[in-house]
Amino acid sequence: MTDDVYDRQGFGKETGMGARPALLLIDFVNGFADPEMLGGGNIAQAIAASRPLLHFARSSNWPVAHSRITFAADGADKNPFCAKVPALAALTASNPARQVVDALAPAAGELVVDKTVPSAFFGTALTQWLISRGVDSVVVAGCTTSGCVRASVVDAMSWGFRVTVAKDCVGDRAKAPHEANLFDMEQKYADVVPFSAIAKQFGRA
């Protein structure tokens, strides 16, 4: 079995969470909630499952950050990401599809990161924002698991944060890439656990 190779080579160890976690919600916007635009699969379920996670983070006084893809209306910042997925170019500042879904709308004091690439860290103020708040670990929810979630998880780990993926709070438009990337992230970059395990760790189960 494939799992045996990873076990034998020592992959998949737990890193745990630190004393000062933050919540990062990746691209839970209207366009990705719409199966006719950029959504589908289990993204709707991930959005619903993220509501108690967001409430938990807020009630625990965690820093909370949201990301959303935002391109210029005149196409000035189009890039290879747009070339691969042309529909992304429609996510401009004036398009409601680019807004965070109402169920997870940002509150006052929460960071909203606009980006034109998969990672919420690349070319944004997110890293410094987390560091300035003393964050040592990041809990990640969002979509898609195989795309912007994975890219953000890898970058979070690369910046030295311990990363936990709330596996019931991430979604993708297809089952196979969702499950494959959960497996791969758990082996190399992050702990992958349900929200209930995160709440239990902090004595709030």
Q: What is the mean pLDDT of residues 136-147?
A: 98
Among residues 82, 143, 148, 169, which one is catalytic? Answer: 148
**N- to C-terminal Cα distance for the chain?**
34
Alpha carbon distance 143, 193 (integer Å): 16
Contact 124/52 with Cβ under 8 angstroms? Answer: no
Q: What is the mean pLDDT of residues 156-169?
A: 98
CA-CA distances (angstroms) from residue 60 to 27, 53, 112, 153, 198?
A: 22, 10, 19, 22, 12
CA-CA distances (angstroms) from residue 1 to 98, 107, 168?
A: 42, 45, 25
User: Which pLDDT belongs to residue 1?
Assistant: 52
Residue 192 lies in a domain: yes
User: Which pLDDT belongs to residue 202?
Assistant: 82
The number of helix segments (H) and strand segments (E) in the chain equals 8, 6
Angle in degrees, CA 85, 89, 93, rounded to 5: 145
Residue 161 lies in a domain: yes
The amino acid that residue 204 corresponds to is: R
For residue 179, the enclosing domain spans 18-201
Task: Look at the chain and report how many structural domains it folds into.
Answer: 1
Helical H segments across 13-132, by residue range: 30-33, 43-59, 80-84, 126-132
The answer to whether 148 is a known catalytic residue is yes
User: Which pLDDT belongs to residue 39?
Assistant: 96
**pTM for this one?**
0.95
Residue with token string 């997110």: 126
Taking Cα atoms as reference points, which of 104, 26, 22, 25 lies closest to residue 63? 22
Q: Is the pLDDT of residue 201 over 70?
A: yes
Specify the CATH number for the domain of residue 185: 3.40.50.850
Q: What is the overall mean pLDDT for the chain?
A: 96
Q: What is the mean pLDDT of residues 162-180?
A: 98
User: Which pLDDT belongs to residue 62?
Assistant: 97
In sequence order, the β-bridge partners of residue 165 are 140, 192
Residue 8 lies in a domain: no
Residue 13 lies in a domain: no
Helical H segments across 85-172, by residue range: 126-132, 150-158
Residue 188 lies in a domain: yes
Q: What is the mean pLDDT of residues 11-27?
A: 96
Residue 4 lies in a domain: no
Residue 12 lies in a domain: no
Residue 9 lies in a domain: no
Pairing status of strand 137-143 against strand 191-193: unpaired
